[in-house]
Amino acid sequence: MELKSDFDTFLRDIRPTASMLADCQTGHTTLRERLNADKDLQPYLVSDFLQGSYRRSTAVRPLNGKRSDVDIIVVTKISESEYSPKEAMKIFEPFLDRYYKDKWQTQGRSFGIELTDVDMDLVITSAPSESEYGILTSDAVKTDEDIAIVQDWRLNPSWLSLQSRRLRFDAKVLLEVAKEQAEWKLNPLRIPDRDADIWEDTHPLEQICWTRDKNKNTDGHFVNVVKCVKWWWLKQFDEPLPPKGFPLERIVGDCCPDGITSVAEGLVSTLEAIISKYGFYITLNSKPQLPDYGVPGHDVLKRVTAEEFAEFYHHTKTAASLARQAYDSTDRKESGNLWRELLGNKFPPPPDNGGSKNSGYTPPTGPAVPGSGRFA
């Protein structure tokens, strides 16, 4: 059974809490304000914006004492021909010592900042084309709102953030224009890899665009299917194992079909698609390659070993079977308990009188066919 109201309750309880989101907001807003006010850094700065699951609306509540996290991109005027990755990152170290002394550390491609209630990743880029400066300082890029809050988000010059809509008398006209206006086609940004001593491509704005489009093609359910899979995988271990974060999200993007009409339908179909699409790689003791959105040459599973992927696959095989039983069950209580077994105790227990058959459920007419819009 789909148990829509139960999934609504479950999703509410695995999302970051209001206080967690407030901590993220305070953390990244303060950091960005400090960056833009810093006289030493001002000559280097073009723009800053949010990326990651916080921005894509795919974040789940952290477990086991972990903190919420938020990722900030800082677009700079730093030339790759003049600065190595290490030299470029060194420019930001005095700023970090000034405001976050003993709270930051250098990571392979970013600075990690640990606050009391939130972790922040600060990622710098090299200089983009000057023709893109205006784009990168637009509302469409710099907005704080995630794609679930502003479902009309468009990457073009006429789109306005919620704050700008309250301040501009022509907001309604501009938003109508934004609906039809073509979106910008940006080049990837370039971020430093200290360990390899190279600059490499990344395209976080394309990741956001892809997620938005996929969410529309799934009637708004895709981001919630991602949350369900992330939560299920986190619950398997005391410490999260690969694939996690964006690589796990990318797997769901590869396997979640368009046309789904509920989170339950999307979840069971995605888990089963993982089994059917990737089983061949397991027989070869290998793993798939999944290109990053906007950077085809970047395999997001590069750092996941074949052994780690095989473990994920075998856990998914068990999960897919359990999800199918839960979805196919016509008994309200049985279905609820099966979903709860799969997703953990955040999924609400069925009512004591929930054993009646059907409960408004329409029995399936055939097996699941990804992409058909109807699943058993």
Query: Which of the residues are catalytic?
Result: 69, 71, 121
Distance CA 229, CA 249 (A): 8
Query: Looking at beta carbons, which pairs linking 312-318 to residues 24 or more positions away fall under 8 Å?
Result: 312/233, 312/241, 312/242, 312/243, 313/274, 313/275, 313/278, 313/279, 313/282, 315/233, 315/236, 316/271, 316/274, 316/275, 317/275
263-283 and 306-328 helices cross at what angle (nearest 10)?
Answer: 140
SS3 state of residue 284: coil
Asked if 81 and 99 count as a contact pair (C-beta separation under 8 A), the reply is no
Give exposure, 149-175, as e/b (b: 16+ Cβ within 10 Å): ebeebbbbbbbbbeeeeeeeeeeeebb
Give exposure, 15-35, as e/b (b: 16+ Cβ within 10 Å): bbeeebbebbeebbeebbeeb
Distance CA 5, CA 348 (A): 10
Joined together, the tokens standing for residue 43 give: 């000559």
> DSSP secondary-structure letter at 130?
G
Phi, psi of 267 (to 5 degrees): -65, -50
Helix or strand run (H / E) with residue 222: helix 222-234
Quickly tell me which residue has 């696959």 as its tokens. Answer: 313
Residue type, 349: P
Distance CA 314, CA 319 (A): 9
